[in-house]
Amino acid sequence: MTITSPHLGSSADSWTDARLLYALEEVVEQELNRHLKVAKDWMPHEYVPFSDARNFPGIFEDGEAWEKGQSPVTDIGRIALVVNLLTEDNLPSYHHEIASLFGRDGAWGTWVHRWTAEEGRHGIVMRDYLLASRAVDPDQLEQFRMAHMSEGFESDNRHSMLHSVAYVAFQELATRISHRNTGHQSGDPVCDRMLSRIATDENLHMVFYRNLLKAAFELAPDLTMQAVRDVVVNFRMPGHGMPGFERAAAQMAIGEVYNMRIHHDDVLQPVLRFLKVLEIDGLGPEGLKAQEELGFFMGGLDAEASKFDEKLAARKARMAARGA
């Protein structure tokens, strides 16, 4: 089957990844041009307190060993900063994934390279900050980086262009929220400003993919609904394979950097509401089934998040009582 002009009436069977990439090319170009107009270049070195830096042991005779008390960063801030940086460190693998899926030509290719360049700044500024401010053990950080990158990365959604677009629409917002909350919990205004700058970039990336997802709903509503359902139900952050991720994620949840309530309220709901995903009508049987399952899942997640909220509130009360 061939189609010369993709349109709303196209059957689900006609939408291969190649046809969807072609059909969305114009939207990608429009979103790329919009992004380039609103995105602001910034210099990583402007956010790093280099005047606080001093030598670590090594080739320098005056090297000073790292100690936890050398930085004002809180324990939860330190944990989240390491998780966030290790996530950014896997950029080569992310670039390979999306370049292989979206291609390196035309508007798609231009976006892939621009996105990679912007994301690269995030890893640069975070590592420079952590080392200059002595916020983390540099030896352990490097050991974690080597272990994490040596494992590589394979996206859960590499089998489908629509699934990949849906995933990054949510994941970019999740990353923005994680960076923003890490800054708020870090205890260091310099760190907070740096992560706020990074969060601004991540939000623009989210807008790009969210708007692309909106166009996909207009072209292939049933397939896009199924992709969104699958991604939301099975969502996990790209850094899930890093050393000690589960323990760090639990600590970040308790520290209110990222948990079920934040995931539901600040990541999933904003994208779903903007796209009016649960209000779309005219779906076929499979699309309608996916929409209903998505609604049920969101209701269940909200209930689970409420249980977590209660446990967190009880924990805070116990900690306050002990402090008193």
Instruction: Write out pLDDT tens, residues 101-160.
Output: 888 889 999 999 999 999 999 999 999 999 999 999 999 999 999 998 888 777 788 788
Q: Quote the tokens at residue 30.
A: 């429009």
Q: Residue 3 domain-assigned? A: no
Q: What CATH number is attached to the domain comprising 173? A: 1.10.620.20
Q: Quote the tokens at residue 70.
A: 């050398």
Buried (b) or exposed (e) across 247-285, using 16+ Cβ within 10 A? ebbebbbebebbbbbbbbebbbeebbeebebeebeebee
Annotated ligand binding at 122? The verdict is yes
Give the residue from 158, 144, 147 showing the smallest Cα distance to 231.
Answer: 158
Domain hosting residue 87, numbered range: 36-53+73-323
Q: What is the pLDDT of residue 174?
A: 96
Q: Residue 4 domain-assigned? A: no
Q: What is the pLDDT of residue 2?
A: 26
Annotated ligand binding at 46? The verdict is no
The domain tally of the chain equals: 1
Q: Residue 59 domain-assigned? A: no
CA distance 126 to 258: 19
Q: Residue 244 domain-assigned? A: yes
Q: Residue 15 domain-assigned? A: no
Annotated ligand binding at 119? The verdict is yes
Q: Residue 175 domain-assigned? A: yes
* Low-confidence stretches of the chain (pLDDT beneath 50): 1-10
pTM given for the model: 0.90
Annotated ligand binding at 151? The verdict is no
Annotated ligand binding at 205? The verdict is yes
Q: What is the pLDDT of residue 94?
A: 85
Q: Residue 19 domain-assigned? A: no
Give the residue from 254, 110, 257, 140 showing the smallest Cα distance to 195.
Answer: 257
Cβ atoms of 259 and 267 within 8 Å: the answer is no
Q: Residue 25 domain-assigned? A: no
